[in-house]
Chains A and B, each alone.
Chain A
Amino acid sequence: MSSQNSTNKKKGTRRVRRKTEETRGLSITSLLDVLTIILVFLIKNVSMEAVKISELPDMHYPTTITDEKLLDNPEVVPVKLYQDRVLFGIDNLSMGTPDDIISDANKRDAMRQYFEREMANIPADKKDKACLVVQADAFLRCIYLTEIIRVATYANFPNIYFATIEDPDWLSDFRPASPQ
């Protein structure tokens, strides 16, 4: 009797193990497909140029039909002219306000020294590739541009570029009137 009881007890405590299903590996094939497409898109659009002149978000650019390419392997010195500030170089060295470069002789001198220093830093065999890239607000007066160009040409910058936004249709907004 006691042996029968012990047998029943054993029966009650017996655990039935379920047959566990093998976990299937996560299929990453579809993810890989997506990544391949993105990779192709990115490789097509990536710019390997040493200097990127990209659109500044807080600047209003003039629009042009013309889009000329920078020289091959240029030595670029960017100048940014906002309505309220002038920034020189990749490090955004502040030169005060646009009015300062007209009215303040010290600022003009600092500007000249900056351009001359930049030109001096360019190797002799690449001096003809020196490019001043002016990114200026469309609603600035030309007097500021003229001053910067005057100082840059004084420092022997051979190439000056103006950054714009390409718009092949800007002229279609204008209707001709008869010339006098």
Chain B
Amino acid sequence: MAIYRPSEARQQKGQTAPEEPNLVPIMNLFVTIIPFLMLMIVLSQVAMIAMNFESSGETGGAGDGTGGGGSEELIEIRLYASEHATGLFPGFEIRDVDRSVTKIPKVGDVYDFASLQQMLVQLKDKYPNKSEIAVVVYPDVMYDTLIRTIDLSKQNGFVTVKYMNPKQMYYY
């Protein structure tokens, strides 16, 4: 027969199963935080294309499309839609700083972005230090076409894109 000292016997009698921690306050906290975070969550965020319009006139601006009026000669990408005057064509026209012109007409109803991409790669190889390019947009060109053109320019190292309008000339 085992003999316990009175204190040991009392301790054995008092032992119970360990209690689970009370998780209810933590649950309350979580249930409050989660709806709050769900309100702030942005699951589909849009991308951005930046254009700088600094007052110095060096980087961007809705110019008049005369091209090369500044201190540095610019490469121009002209975007034409189909409705323009005689002599113009639907597609891209790239005017190099040496005044040579490359035409990339539409293929069917679609602008030939793949050829534009090739052309921009060649231009970057030719002028590795150039980071500016001008995009001259005719009014009827679709916004989607403009954005894709700016996108390709930026992808090929022409990070500063000048947004220009063609010079409107009226003959009476």
> In the complex, are the beta carbons of B104 and A179 less than 8 A apart?
yes
Bound Cα distance A159, B23 (Å):
50
Q: Is B27's CB under 8 angstroms from A35's CB?
A: yes
Pick out which of these stretches binds chain B: A7-15, A63-71, A115-123.
A63-71
> Does A124 reach chain B (CB closer than 8 Å)?
no
Judge whether B142 and A29 touch: CB under 8 Å: no
Complex-state Cα separation, A162 to B163, whole angstroms: 12
From residue A22, how far is it (CB to closest CB) to chain B in Å? Answer: 12
Q: A133 at interface (Cβ–Cβ under 8 A)? A: yes
A interface, over-half SS? mixed
Interface of B is mostly: mixed
Q: How far is the CA of A144 from the CA of B47 in the complex (A)?
A: 21
B73 interface contact, C-beta 8 A = no
Residues of B whose CB lies within 8 Å of any CB of A are 20, 23-24, 26-27, 30-31, 33-34, 37-38, 40-55, 61-62, 79, 102-105, 107, 110, 112-115, 117-119, 137-144, 146-148, 150-152, 154-155, 163, 165
List 18 A-B residue pairs with CB atoms under 8 Å apart, sorted by A's residue number: A28-B24, A42-B41, A54-B44, A64-B150, A65-B155, A66-B49, A135-B46, A140-B142, A141-B143, A162-B51, A163-B46, A163-B47, A164-B151, A165-B46, A177-B114, A179-B102, A179-B104, A179-B115
Residues of A within 8 A of B (CB): 25, 27-29, 31-32, 35-36, 38-39, 42-43, 45-48, 52-55, 61-70, 133, 135-146, 149-150, 152-153, 156-166, 170-171, 174-180
